[in-house]
Structure 1
């Protein structure tokens, strides 16, 4: 009987790897579908403050050729993830994209539990409480509860904040393993330029503090008017890292008030979230 050999999948990939594709994927032995990665990079090009974007702007943000962008825009529009607005000659993200986020955050009542804890934290005073995820080299708010007088900054769901300077970003990096941090550092260095040495020094100090105090902090590091603390929370099925943070106007929320009033509730939220994982065993 002849032995049937299983063909090996080639690890060779065409094209130049782009930052938006993700370093982790490039280290995987499974085939890398470049066209899919490029399509997702187009969706990532839309920010919360963008009502509409044209082909040229999308090409600049993704680093893709305009011809490639036009082709992928057509596919994404056909699938319903984008809407073409002929009166402007530009595109807008459709509500179909929301279904992806709902599928990710809706497991096991995770979203409901997170919101409940966020509302409890926010009830304690003038603050903004945020659930965030990493988006390339930034953190993005996916849920936000705030008091009207909480902050002078214009922060909303979909807003992005610096990964290395913010409390949510530092909480994420502290929870990530050392290998992931090393993969992210070159892109962060390119982002911060000449300030990287100082940024890295402050970041490493923040990660060291996290290891002893159990939470990440950013007291004026991202914005001199803003103080915040944050903790990482792992989604029970996938292990994906979310962060819950509380922050606000530095004058209303000095570090000692954040620690005394809001930190216990943050830590209680993390403990409750982690208990969800026991239901899977």
Structure 2
């Protein structure tokens, strides 16, 4: 009999808001389908490092009742977005989920152009070039290109990094409209607790002020002490959705000066070229 591996403990964050599937219905003109929102919350609960998750872990991560989770994973499995793994008695995300992302990245040649520019930037040296999107209070990598010798901190496509401390997160916050930024700042305050007023808020506001002056975000040892990074926002030429394009790596190899001198011009050039896809600019 195959031994069932211990279920991964849910990753708890102090003050992290649960996935409030009802709040989004407020102040909206269109009907809100709670069952659909619950189903999406199940898919969002899976993280890059998760091989399989059971119903209890999914219930813990989403805040949904375990009975509700059982019904939802059954439906998602029938639709092909989850796959039941009988040897573990748990579920894994199916490759069908990828079809949703490719539909976005393939539009107007957006994904191909971004990847080409990322590869060009990565040729500069020992760095990691990442395309990210917001996932609640994190940024998630949807494309990642690295040199073999680059310090990647075990980051891969699907990995999440914190919004407040990272260059991609700060670039996103800067590019967000006032209403979204204000809402995110409130959620970050709740998430970080006492650390928010004591340090995090001041550091983040200082970072946003720097971006306003210099045109790019930065994080020099603030997320990880050995990691430096810079980033800029990109907008989908069709929908206007915000992505971020960033370059980072080992602080020993990538000083702030080198990042700005060698990599920043290529980031700006990539943003200009990608913006031309929709006839606009960034």
Whole-angstrom CA distance in 2 between matches of 1:22 and 1:202: 32
The 8 Å contact of residues 23 and 183 in structure 1, kept in 2 or not, is answered as no
- The equivalent residue for 1:6 is none
TM-score, L = length of structure 1 = 0.90
> Which secondary structure does the structure 1 equivalent of 2:210 belong to?
helix
CA drift at 1:54: 0.3
CA drift at 1:187: 1.9
- After TM superposition, which residue ranges in structure 1, 4 or more long, deviate above 4 angstroms? 22-25
The 8 Å contact of residues 175 and 232 in structure 1, kept in 2 or not, is answered as yes
> Which secondary structure does the structure 2 equivalent of 1:230 belong to?
strand
* Residue 196 of structure 2 is aligned to residue 196 of structure 1: yes
The 8 Å contact of residues 231 and 244 in structure 1, kept in 2 or not, is answered as yes
* Residue 133 of structure 2 is aligned to residue 122 of structure 1: no
Instruction: Name the count of aligned residue pairs.
Output: 263
Whole-angstrom CA distance in 2 between matches of 1:24 and 1:164: 23
- The equivalent residue for 1:273 is 274
- The equivalent residue for 1:34 is 34
Whole-angstrom CA distance in 2 between matches of 1:152 and 1:95: 25
- The equivalent residue for 1:232 is 233
CA drift at 1:33: 0.8
- The equivalent residue for 2:212 is 211
The 8 Å contact of residues 20 and 41 in structure 1, kept in 2 or not, is answered as no
CA drift at 1:190: 2.2
- The one-character-per-residue Cα deviations of 1:139-182 (angstroms, maximum 9, x if unpaired) are 00000000122115110000000011100000000000111011
- The equivalent residue for 1:52 is 52
Q: How do residues 259-270 of structure 1 correspond to structure 2 at under 5 angstroms?
A: 259-270=260-271
- The equivalent residue for 1:70 is 70
Whole-angstrom CA distance in 2 between matches of 1:244 and 1:23: 30
Structure 1, unpaired ranges of 5+: 1-16
The 8 Å contact of residues 122 and 128 in structure 2, kept in 1 or not, is answered as yes
> Which secondary structure does the structure 1 equivalent of 2:279 belong to?
helix
Greater CA drift, 56-65 or 198-207? 198-207
- The one-character-per-residue Cα deviations of 1:187-240 (angstroms, maximum 9, x if unpaired) are 212221221121111111111111111100000110001000000000011000
CA drift at 1:21: 3.7
Whole-angstrom CA distance in 1 between matches of 2:22 and 2:158: 20
- The equivalent residue for 1:11 is none
Q: 1:40 to 1:200 in 2, by over 3 A?
A: same
- The equivalent residue for 1:248 is 249
- The equivalent residue for 1:166 is 166
The 8 Å contact of residues 22 and 136 in structure 1, kept in 2 or not, is answered as no
The 8 Å contact of residues 230 and 243 in structure 1, kept in 2 or not, is answered as yes
> Which secondary structure does the structure 2 equivalent of 1:144 belong to?
strand
Whole-angstrom CA distance in 2 between matches of 1:51 and 1:243: 27
Structure 2, unpaired ranges of 5+: 1-16
- The equivalent residue for 1:143 is 143
CA drift at 1:26: 3.5
Whole-angstrom CA distance in 2 between matches of 1:164 and 1:22: 25
TM-score, L = length of structure 2 = 0.90
Whole-angstrom CA distance in 2 between matches of 1:104 and 1:118: 18
Whole-angstrom CA distance in 2 between matches of 1:130 and 1:95: 22
> What is the RMSD computed on CA atoms of the aligned residues?
1.5
Between Structure 1 and Structure 2, whose CA radius of gyration is higher? 1
